[in-house]
Amino acid sequence: MTHRERVLNAIKHKNVDRIPFDFWAEQPTLERLYSFYGTRILDKILDDFDVDMRHVEAIMPPEKYYGDFYQNFWGERYIYRETKWGPMREDIPGALSGAKNIEDLEDFDWPNPDDFDYTKLKSTCDKYDGYALMYGFADIWQRPCLVRGMENAFMDLYVNPEWVHFLGRKYTDFYIKDYTNAFHQSGGRIDIFLVISDLGSQHGPLISTEIFDEFIAPYLKELVDCIHGLGAYVMYHSCGMIFPFIERLIDIGVDILDPIQSVTPEMTPENLKENFSKRICFHGGIDVQKLLVHGTPDEVKMGIEHYLKVFGKNGGYICSPSHLFQPDIPPENIKAFYEMTKHH
């Protein structure tokens, strides 16, 4: 199978010659890998790893520096904390955290997808023709929370519900246009579009299912329907314990669920396969908090082997870390991770 065929078969719950693997990492993690392998050519490393997917992007407006913080085009604000491998972003309350009324939201300088540069997208997709391609970083709830400030955003659910719907509408309209633009500019080559909004903590849901149904589900359904209308698949990312939402995500039409944090018994691969086999494809699962940080390469391989055995080769799984590879993960363990593409 080609890399792309392998991924698409897994999504469709069809047999694969081997379970497909994905890769994504924080920039400081890449710096460690570049030093470890003696090259700054990421494609060479991914080819050596035999990774089946590639992530493609349009060129976005640059962030701006305001002296004490950085701000991106959405109004998210953050600082950079130095690590020995490079700076890591740390969010602070965003540009609308001090909003006093809905007019403050309406008057904000909202971005337009026309500010994105899609001109190199087609050539990038052509370059990765044999791979499954994923685009985007759409977020219809968590990103508005960052712009409002997380505490404000949670209070808005009860005190200012019309503000939450205003932001949901604003972000959904943006990403419907962005994803439509990207699909056509790529020549229809994008296979998967990513949607992100965290619903869970390490111990339980962040919100109730009723809150999800009112403030998130309607907008997510619009975006999912748009992506399916383009002929592509939807990957939904949420960290944490999100078992109560999975049935709803399936009903909405989500095709792939990421990143499978096994933080409670409900979120173990065995339980997920038992409850949702054949109805959604899982992506992720390999623990970035303990196993990949503190385990030996052999222990990493054993952990991956467990997931491969549980999900099997009859589709429905793409092997990947349970979040982006973090900079505290030794390169030797990332190397061991992808040695598993050749030994199962």
> Could you read off the pLDDT of 258-306 as tens digits, one per residue?
999 999 999 999 999 999 989 999 999 999 999 999 999 999 999 999 9
Q: Mean pLDDT across the stretch 115-139? A: 97
Q: With contact defined as beta carbons under 8 Å apart, do 74 and 145 qualify?
A: no
**For the chain, domain boundaries:** 3-61+96-342
Instruction: Give the fold, CATH level 3, of 3-61+96-342.
Output: TIM Barrel (3.20.20)
**pTM listed for this prediction:** 0.97
Token pair listed for 101: 């009324």
Residue 15: band (very low, low, confident or very high) from pLDDT cuts 50, 70, 90? very high
CB atoms under 10 Å from CB of 289, counted, come to 15
Sign of CA dihedral 198, 334, 59, 187: negative
- Three-state secondary-structure class, residue 65: strand
User: How confident is the model over 104-124, as pLDDT tens digits?
Assistant: 999 999 999 999 999 999 999
* Residue 135 region by backbone torsions, left for phi larger than 0, else alpha for psi between -120 and 50, else beta: beta
d(CA 131, CA 286): 22
Nearest alpha carbon to residue 321 among 313, 312, 340, 309: 340
Decide: 182 and 190 in contact? Cβ < 8 Å: yes
